[in-house]
Structure 1
Amino acid sequence: MRKWLTGSIFLYFIYGLFMYWYLFVFSGSGVPAPYTGTSADPATFMSGRELLLSQEYSTIKNFLYFVTVPFEWFLFFVLLITGISRKMQEWSDATTRFFSLQSAIYFFWLSIFVTVLSFPVEWLGYRISKAYNITTQSFPAWMKDQVIDFWVNYALMTVIVIVLYWLIKRFEKRWWLYAWLLSIPFSMFLMFVQPVLIDPLYNDFYPLKNKELEEKILAMASEAEIPAEHVYEVNMSEKTNALNAYVTGIGSNSRIVLWDTTLNRLSDDEILFIMAHEMGHYVMKHIYIGIAGYLLASLVGLFFIHLLMRLMIKHFGTLLKIRSIKELTAFPLFLILIGVLTFASSPIANTVARYQEKSADMYAIEMTNNHEAAVSSFQELSKAGLSDVNPPTLVKLFRYTHPTMLERIVYLEEHGEKE
């Protein structure tokens, strides 16, 4: 056990050093020479201080992301190899004879363990965002969101754990298939209720106060055949200076939402371009394509997790203190594998997402025919979020679900020159 723990810590340290070298030493900043001085060059729309802060903040944020992703895997590994996971199962078994309650108790202790040990990292991310004036949220308000996060995730995951292990116990060889089939209605249900049940736990939503702007947005929605009767505004200025807008939910619970920071900082023309972009996703049915892609990926992923768990328990079960896949003790191994597979597949998922985002951008520019507003909206988004317009390759591959700001501004400019 000591050898494995020492080895894993050493590998984690080497990985952290590599990411530090890659982000802080190897990767350069700025834009390629052909775009220097163009509207895609942050030096043309950011002050010297904003440019410096964006480079610092983006690099620190990316480094924190890459070193914290495997940190949770490491925590789950420690739970297994030290036997803490088995102790948690023994506590839950001794508390009640009902399996559903045993699962809830086990997952509660697992959640507490991970939350407490991850808290310093979460707090560091909050402090960095606060220091760069991205986050405006007070510490008590931030803690309130953390507590809400904990209980929402605990409630949802407890249901998943109970159903998952009931399936594993009942259908040991085909559990992955039945779990996938049940995940379809469950995912659709969550997407349907999120706008009306989950999102309001974190923020206050209300009809857009600017009725003239709402009429313009709804007119665009009508043109795009989107069944929307209201545009919602959400009070995000208490939490962040970043900008955002989105269309959420499915069916009758679909909502068009604007952050108040976006309303306060952007002009009507810029907001209309952003709204047209979001409508483009709806028109091109990206949400349903995304659901189909997620379901396909989850089917393949669950099958591989089934195979890998059986293989790892067979060869390393003694080391990990796992006797059978049917034990709750094995759940951290399930979480490690799903985390690793999700991270490994993220470049593919992000590539598809970036293609969809570019398509939505082109839809928006065709609908609004306002290149100046489109470019300036992306510039303002970069300034507000201190975004790196031209991030390093690994950052783009693993983190960017949208094209880089450099790419977005360049192809909008090229589109304008063709007209």
Structure 2
Amino acid sequence: MQKRRIALSLAALAALALPGLAHAQSFDVEAATRAYLDTLQGAARAKSDAYFEGGYWLILWGALVSFLTDALMLRFRISAWVRDKVSGRFARPNLVVWGTALLYGLWGSIVTFPWAIYTGFLREQQYGLMNQSFGGWLGDQITATAISLVFFPLMVVAIYAVIRRFPRNWWMLATGVVLFFVMLGALIAPVYIAPLFNKYTELPAGPVRDRIVAMAKSRDVPAEHIYLFDASKQTKRISANVSGLGPTIRISLNDNLLNRTTLPETAAVMGHEMGHYVLGHVWRGILVMSLLAALVFFAISRAAPALIARYGERWGVRDLADPASMPVFGMLLAMAGLLVTPITNTLVRVNESDADAFGLDVAREPDGFALTAMKLSEYRKIEPGPIEEMLFFDHPSGATRVRMSMQWKKDHVPGAQMVVPPPMQQDQPEAK
């Protein structure tokens, strides 16, 4: 009994001497998390869930649309006809491949255009995420297609050159070709491609820039340039990103983030983006995706010759090195992309979670981070099941992020107090 009294006395003295510790120990992470999650209720939650869950089917239907587009080319010998027409104009194999790839890419863009209208414009408009007119959206699509028709044929020429030169082990060198083009795209995109779609300017001086610069200096992140871009002309979504490679790497935020969030929320998001930079996620992502590409190319190197041996005469495809085989590649890539989606989602989600942890440490804004996670529920289901999150989420869910921020608050904020935020706006869901 005496020992128990002494222990209670020591505990009371510790509570008086360290009130922050006592409050932190009493801070209920789950209750604090639930206080945020419960701000999204009724019609708003139903709308958020419906939008994101509908995306699960888009993954499947998108793969089927791509598969059927290529299957039609083979069924009606369109790829063979294109090859023959191009061969009549060019004698060199590389030029034949280039011309065939150009028309193949154009065919795919035209045939899948109705699907692109639904997924990229109509559906976004239905759920209140689209700020752009159809004409503006169409202009961006034409620009994106034109860019792809410049780079895609060049990459295909290099891959088919490798197939002709190394017919047995082409998949290894083809992976290197894809890696080169991915790195080239990452290098030039911020400087030459992104400005074709949005206007990029220096973030103006003020409290937001001062806070971002201070956070950057605390972690040795270059902060000479912080870019703001006008995404609001296209979408309602709040966003920021790390883009570029080597000398072109940069951190950018969109004007929706600047205009629709408070300073603590903006700081939390920008701390997350700095995490991507400091933790080297651009390079890590390129490496991991290259390994996946090698695996997919290896599988194609075994499956494609078997398909051509069985159906090649019917399709007008002679062998794998024949440029008319592009739709065979396309069908197999569509199937592979569908199968590896949970893997790629998980790999990206792990990086995002690491960046979340970094952002909490550098910004020290757990409630700002939680509020931002709730705002992202406009287009991301807030509280999925664990298997659902593992399969379909390429970022941690809102519930996961809020819980992480509240755990960080308990562990790092002396005297942590639970915040009860106001309910989120209950917009009525629009017809699907």
Which interval holds the TM-score relative to the shorter structure? 0.7 to 0.9
Amino acid at match of 1:107: A
Cα deviation digits, residues 140-175 of structure 1 (max 9, x gap): 110001101111111111101111112222222232
Of 64, 78, 84 in structure 2, the residue corresponding to residue 84 of structure 1 is 78
Correspondence 1:336-375 to 2 at 5 A: 336-375=331-370
SS in 2 for 1:65: helix
Larger RCO: Structure 1 or Structure 2 (Cα < 8 Å, ≥ 6 residues apart)?
2
User: Does the CA contact (< 8 Å) of 2:267 and 2:365 recur in 1?
Assistant: no
Q: What TM-score do the two structures reach when normalised by structure 1?
A: 0.85
SS in 1 for 2:232: coil
CA shift for structure 1 position 358? 1.4
Amino acid at match of 1:111: G
SS in 1 for 2:251: strand
Partner of 1:13: none
Correspondence 1:83-122 to 2 at 5 A: 83-122=77-116
Identity across matched positions, percent: 24
CA shift for structure 1 position 60? 3.1
Amino acid at match of 2:84: E
CA shift for structure 1 position 242? 0.6
Amino acid at match of 2:236: N
Count of paired positions: 384
Amino acid at match of 1:388: K
User: Does the CA contact (< 8 Å) of 1:350 and 1:398 recur in 2?
Assistant: yes
Q: How far apart, in 2, do the equivalents of 1:101 and 1:323 lie?
A: 18
Cα deviation digits, residues 333-378 of structure 1 (max 9, x gap): 1122223223212212222222221121111112222221111111
Amino acid at match of 2:289: Y
Of 273, 283, 292 in structure 1, the residue corresponding to residue 268 of structure 2 is 273
Runs of 4+ in structure 1 off by over 6 angstroms are 34-37
Partner of 2:283: 288
Partner of 2:392: 399
Q: How far apart, in 2, do the equivalents of 1:196 and 1:139 lie?
A: 26
User: Does the CA contact (< 8 Å) of 2:132 and 2:234 recur in 1?
Assistant: yes
SS in 1 for 2:319: coil
Cα deviation digits, residues 173-193 of structure 1 (max 9, x gap): 232222223333333222111
SS in 2 for 1:97: coil
Q: How far apart, in 2, do the equivalents of 1:121 and 1:38 lie?
A: 42
Q: How far apart, in 2, do the equivalents of 1:321 and 1:63 lie?
A: 33
Partner of 2:118: 124
Correspondence 1:323-338 to 2 at 5 A: 323-338=318-333
Cα deviation digits, residues 207-266 of structure 1 (max 9, x gap): 012433212212211221122311100001110001101111122211110010010000
CA shift for structure 1 position 121? 1.2
SS in 1 for 2:180: helix
Partner of 1:154: 149
Cα deviation digits, residues 301-351 of structure 1 (max 9, x gap): 222221221222223323443221111110111122223223212212222
Cα distance change on mapping 1:40 and 1:70 into 2, 3 Å = farther
Of 296, 304, 316 in structure 1, the residue corresponding to residue 299 of structure 2 is 304
Q: How far apart, in 2, do the equivalents of 1:78 and 1:318 lie?
A: 15
User: Does the CA contact (< 8 Å) of 2:346 and 2:391 recur in 1?
Assistant: no
Q: How far apart, in 1, do the equivalents of 2:46 and 2:176 lie?
A: 49
Answering whether residue 50 of structure 2 is matched by residue 60 of structure 1, we say no
Q: What TM-score do the two structures reach when normalised by structure 2?
A: 0.83
Amino acid at match of 1:46: L
Cα distance change on mapping 1:299 and 1:253 into 2, 3 Å = same
Amino acid at match of 2:197: Y
Q: How far apart, in 2, do the equivalents of 1:386 and 1:293 lie?
A: 27
Partner of 2:44: 50
SS in 1 for 2:220: coil
Unaligned runs of 5+ in 2: 1-27, 413-432
User: Does the CA contact (< 8 Å) of 1:266 and 1:380 recur in 2?
Assistant: no
User: Does the CA contact (< 8 Å) of 1:218 and 1:230 recur in 2?
Assistant: no
Q: CA RMSD in A?
A: 2.3
User: Does the CA contact (< 8 Å) of 2:131 and 2:235 recur in 1?
Assistant: yes
User: Does the CA contact (< 8 Å) of 1:309 and 1:333 recur in 2?
Assistant: yes
SS in 2 for 1:237: helix
Max radius of gyration: which structure?
Answer: 2
Answering whether residue 60 of structure 2 is matched by residue 73 of structure 1, we say no
